[in-house]
Amino acid sequence: MKQKINETIDKVKYAFPSIFTKEDVMELLEDILASEQPAEEPKVRKLSMEELHEIVHAIREKTADWIERNQENVVNLDSADFEIRHGNEIQLSSIAVNYGDIAEQVEEITMDILTGYFTPDEEEI
How close are the terminal C-alpha atoms of the chain, in Å?
A: 38
Task: Specify whether the CB–CB gap between 98 and 78 falls below 8 A.
Answer: no
* Residue 18 binned pLDDT confidence (cut-offs 50, 70, 90): low
Q: For residue range 69-116, what is the model confidence (pLDDT) as tens digits? A: 998 888 888 898 999 998 889 999 999 999 999 999 999 999 998 887
Helices (H), the chain: 2-13, 22-35, 49-69, 71-74, 99-115
pTM: 0.53
Q: What are the backbone angles phi and psi of residue 78, rounded to the nearest 5°?
A: -70, -20
